[in-house]
């Protein structure tokens, strides 16, 4: 039926089962389905995936994945980083994604940094939005080159805010 040539030039028959195993193992692994966090699951801690993930349960922690869907029963408290993100459930935390889609019924409380954003009717969003060409790029805060006036005195105001805590601020905080 099938033959395999050895290094010495002789042919060895291959069974159909061996051929099926060989062809299955040579397929790319990129066609693997999404990892699913079911509605009855609660996870405390960070999740990282190189592939797709669907969250229908509750996650208290940061999530990183290439493609992510937060189902209508999904609830996230933490930071989300993804190439594409579709939200039907609830998120409390910041989002960094190339493409973000808040579908009908979605509820997001937090800031969104994106390349493309779609908000469908009856989706709820409370926070700040910033568009960037590459929202997933790690950005380190730049060191201050000048000392703010309130920091130069020992009795400076305790309510002064730092610009490093707000990713949307382009100037340093004022007293």
Query: Which is more confident, 16 or 122?
Result: 122
Query: Which whole number is the average pLDDT over 4-22?
Result: 55
The Cα 13–Cα 123 span in angstroms is 61
- The tens digit of pLDDT for each residue in 105-157 reads 999 999 999 999 999 999 999 999 999 999 988 765 444 444 444 444 444 43
Averaged over 146-173, what is the pLDDT? Answer: 43
Triad 82, 84, 48: Cα angle to 5° = 30
CB of 106 within 8 A of CB of 123?
Answer: yes
């Amino acid at each position: 039926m099938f033959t395999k040539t050895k290094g010495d030039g002789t042919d060895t028959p291959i069974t159909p089962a061996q051929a099926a195993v060989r062809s299955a193992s040579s397929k790319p692994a990129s066609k693997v389905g999404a990892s699913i966090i079911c509605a009855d699951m609660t996870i405390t801690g960070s999740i990282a995936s190189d592939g797709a993930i669907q969250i229908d349960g509750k996650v208290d922690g940061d999530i990183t994945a290439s493609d992510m869907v937060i189902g209508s029963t999904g609830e996230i408290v933490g930071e989300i980083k993804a190439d594409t993100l579709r939200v039907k459930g609830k998120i409390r935390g910041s989002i960094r994604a190339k493409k973000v889609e808040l579908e009908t019924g979605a509820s997001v409380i937090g800031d969104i940094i994106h390349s493309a954003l779609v908000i469908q009717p009856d989706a709820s969003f409370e926070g700040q939005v910033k568009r960037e060409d590459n929202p997933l790029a790690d950005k380190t805060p730049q060191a201050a080159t000048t000392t703010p006036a309130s920091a130069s005195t020992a009795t400076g105001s305790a309510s002064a805010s730092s610009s490093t805590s707000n990713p949307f601020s382009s100037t340093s905080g004022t007293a």
